[in-house]
Chain A
Amino acid sequence: MADKTSSNAYWAANLRIIGISLVIWFICSFGLGIILRPALEGIRIGGADLGFWFAQNGSIYVFLVLIFVYAARMNKLDREYGVEE
Chain B
Amino acid sequence: MDQFTLNLIFVGLTFALYIGIAIWARAGTTSEFYAAGQGVNPVLNGMATGADWMSAASFISMAGIIALAPTGGYTQSAYLMGWTGGYVLLALLLAPYLRKFGKFTVPEFIGDRFYSGGARLLAVICLIVISVTYVIGQMRGVGVTFSRFLEVSTDTGLYIGAAIVFAYAVFGGMKGITYTQVAQYVVLIIAYTIPAIFISLQLTGNFLPQLGLIGTHEASGVAFLTKLDQVVTELGFTAYTADSPNMLNMFLFTMSLMIGTAGLPHVIIRFFTVPKVADARYSAGWALVFIALLYTVAPAVGSMARLNLTTTMWPNAVSGNALDGEAISRADIDSNPQLSWIRTWEQTGLLVMEDKNGDGFIQYYNDANPALQTIATERGWTGNEVTKVDNDIMVLANPEIAALPGWVIALVAAGALAAALSTAAGLLLAISSAISHDLIKGSINPNISEKGELLAARISMGFAIVVATYLGLNPPGFAAQVVALAFGLAAATIFPALMMGIFSTRINKEGAIAGMLLGLIFTAVYIFVYKGWFFIPGTNMLPDTAANYVFGISPLSIGAVGALVNFGAAYIVSSMTAAPPQKVQDLVESIRIPKGAGSATHH
A residues near B, CB below 8 A?
A: 1-2, 7, 10-11, 14, 18, 21-22, 25, 29-30, 33-35, 37-38, 45-49, 52-53, 55-57, 59-61, 63-64, 66-68, 70-71, 74-75, 78, 82-85
Contact of B254 among A18, A30, A67 (CB under 8 A): A30
- Check A48/B225 contact, CB under 8 A, given A57-B299, A64-B289, A67-B91: yes
Contact of A64 among B74, B285, B592 (CB under 8 A): B285
Number of contacting residues on B, CB 8 A?
53
Asked if B92 contacts A47 (CB within 8 A), the reply is: no
> CA of A18 to CA of B73 in the docked complex: distance in angstroms?
32
Asked if A85 contacts B251 (CB within 8 A), the reply is: no
Asked if B276 contacts A34 (CB within 8 A), the reply is: no
**Which interface residue of A22, A34, A49, A78 has the most chain B CB atoms within 10 A?**
A34
Q: Chain B 212-245, CB within 8 Å of chain A: the 1/0 string?
A: 0111100000111110000000000000010110
> CA of A11 to CA of B215 in the docked complex: distance in angstroms?
46
- Check A38/B243 contact, CB under 8 A, given A47-B216, A53-B214, A57-B210: yes
24 A-B residue pairs with CB within 8 Å:
A18-B92, A22-B88, A30-B255, A37-B243, A46-B214, A47-B213, A47-B224, A47-B225, A52-B225, A55-B80, A56-B80, A57-B214, A59-B85, A63-B288, A64-B285, A64-B289, A66-B88, A67-B87, A67-B92, A67-B288, A70-B91, A78-B595, A82-B595, A85-B597
B residues near A, CB below 8 A?
A: 74, 77, 80-81, 84-85, 87-89, 91-93, 96, 210-211, 213-216, 222-226, 241, 243-244, 247, 250-251, 254-255, 276-278, 281-282, 284-285, 288-289, 292, 295-296, 299, 589, 592-598
Asked if B285 contacts A71 (CB within 8 A), the reply is: yes
Asked if B595 contacts A83 (CB within 8 A), the reply is: yes
> CA of A37 to CA of B242 in the docked complex: distance in angstroms?
11
For residue B116, give the distance in angstroms from its CB to the closest CB of chain A: 25
For residue A44, give the distance in angstroms from its CB to the closest CB of chain B: 9
> CA of A70 to CA of B282 in the docked complex: distance in angstroms?
9
- Check A78/B594 contact, CB under 8 A, given A30-B251, A59-B81, A60-B84: yes
For residue B257, give the distance in angstroms from its CB to the closest CB of chain A: 11
**Which interface residue of B87, B91, B210, B216 has the most chain A CB atoms within 10 A?**
B91
Contact of A48 among B84, B213, B277, B595 (CB under 8 A): B213
CB neighbours of B589 from chain A (8 A): 7
